[in-house]
Amino acid sequence: MGRFDGRDGPLTVRYEPASVKDLLVEMKDTAELLIDLSYSAVLHGSPTIAHEVVELEHRMDVLQMRARMSLMLAARSPDEAETLAPVLGVVGAADKISDAAGDIAKIVTEEIGLPDAMRGALTEGVETLVRGTVSPGSAYAGRTLKDIDLESKTGVRVIAIRRDDDWILNPGPTTRIEAGDATLLRGPETGVSDVHPTLTGDPFDPDEPPEPAIDDLERAVDSILLMKNLSELAVDLAYGSVLFDNETLAEEVSNLEIEVDALQSRFEAWTLRAAREADDPVSLRGLIHLGVATEEISDAALEITEGVMRDIGVHPVVEMAVQESDEIITRTVIAEGSDLDGTRIADGIPATDISTSVIAIRRPDEGWLVGHDIDTTLRAGDAVISKGTRTSAEEFEALAA
């Protein structure tokens, strides 16, 4: 079976025995990394990160084709076909997310471009992400991430590694960095400026972002940044709803998709108004491109939840994936007078002794609070989306009740 993938020739994908569960987990991790990298490529104007998006998009094409083959062979009865149908939808939605991420990266690879003022405003709301190749003389080469201990010392995380044509997603403490590895680093700019030279042997010299000059453009930027955060959250919750057969999480994905649609309308209005004042209105084309692709990601997230919302049930291969997952996503409403009512969170971590991270809050009178820098005080009525171990999730639920 062959298909053209945009490289020098057709990509041949043949059936290989593979666990559907493992393929689904890999597709989930790849989709989330694709979103992360594509936005970072645009926000930092980085052709090297955009290239990694293209490489990952090719990888996703292979994964989704192999997953479809395995799912077709797994359906041996009408009942199994019924429970596998939503899984097939998950595979298709992951491919749509991959395509949308590729479209975002095209803003860089095809030099569609963004207004400089817009990029300057956007980069203030995100951590720095850079790609660096490990030099043979690096002090990190040949050592594990636990031994290097980057995150606790510098705040910088290695979010992925490409070794030749193989990817290591979600590298852990025992992952060893080797010379020649293409590593993706995320963290505060001060930390990255320390780590990058040690890792690559090259200095880290970020560009100074220009100041936004058009008020309506600033409003468009605020809208697209919130759309980005909400779409990323929607994908995270959508996979969580499927893995844990959780209709509550699926409903939150629907709420997020409605919010992103509303933001899309406002974003288009601000962009059109900004065009009146821009020296070169054509320079806003990349901004429109970004908005369309972002909205497509939230639509794909909603497709992932279809089986859960229709109460079709979870196929055993998904149940197996859940059983092996120690980290889960939950939605918890803070009750009046509970132990968490009035608790301050900083950096997404509740001020308690349990290992649960708050990744988003939906507040009745304010809407969604989301991002890597959530810093607020929990209130009664807050719907808290958190990630943590099963044990900590149960403790968090008890504190909130």
Most confident of 10-19, 39-48, 291-300: 291-300
Q: Which of 200, 231, 248 is the last residue of a domain?
A: 200
Residues 6+ apart with CB under 8 A from 316: none
- pLDDT at residue number 48: 86
Cα–Cα distance for residue pair 314/86, rounded to 1 Å: 8
Of 353, 347, 356, the closest CA to residue 385 belongs to: 356
Distance from C-alpha of 263 to C-alpha of 271, rounded to nearest angstrom: 12
CB 377, CB 343: distance < 8 Å: yes
What are the beta bridge partners of residue 330? 386
Cβ–Cβ contacts within 10 Å for residue 48, how many? Answer: 15
* Average pLDDT for 64-75: 79
Does residue 206 lie within any of the structural domains?
A: no
Final residue belonging to a domain, choices 174, 200, 226:
200
User: How many Cα atoms within 13 Å fall on the side-chain side of residue 19?
Assistant: 10
pLDDT tens per residue across span 270-306 = 777 777 776 677 767 888 888 889 899 999 999 888 8
Q: Does residue 62 sit within a domain? A: yes
In 68-219 the beta strands, taken as DSSP E runs, fall at: 128-133, 143-144, 157-163, 166-169, 176-177, 182-187
Residue-wise pLDDT for 100-127, tens only, equals: 999 999 888 887 766 665 555 555 555 7
Q: What is the DSSP string of 99-126?
A: HHHHHHHHHHHTT----HHHHHHHHTTS
- Residue whose tokens read 């005080």: 377
Residue 7 belongs to some domain of the structure: no
What's the rounded mean pLDDT across residues 211-226? Answer: 67
Domain span holding position 384 = 327-400
Calculate the average pLDDT of the chain: 78
pLDDT at 3 exceeding the cut of 50: no
Minimum mean pLDDT range among 171-180, 223-232, 355-364: 355-364
Instruction: Check pLDDT > 80 for residue 18.
Output: no
The structural domain count of the chain equals 3
27 and 77 co-located in one domain: yes
Task: Tell me the two tokens of residue 300.
Answer: 């794909």
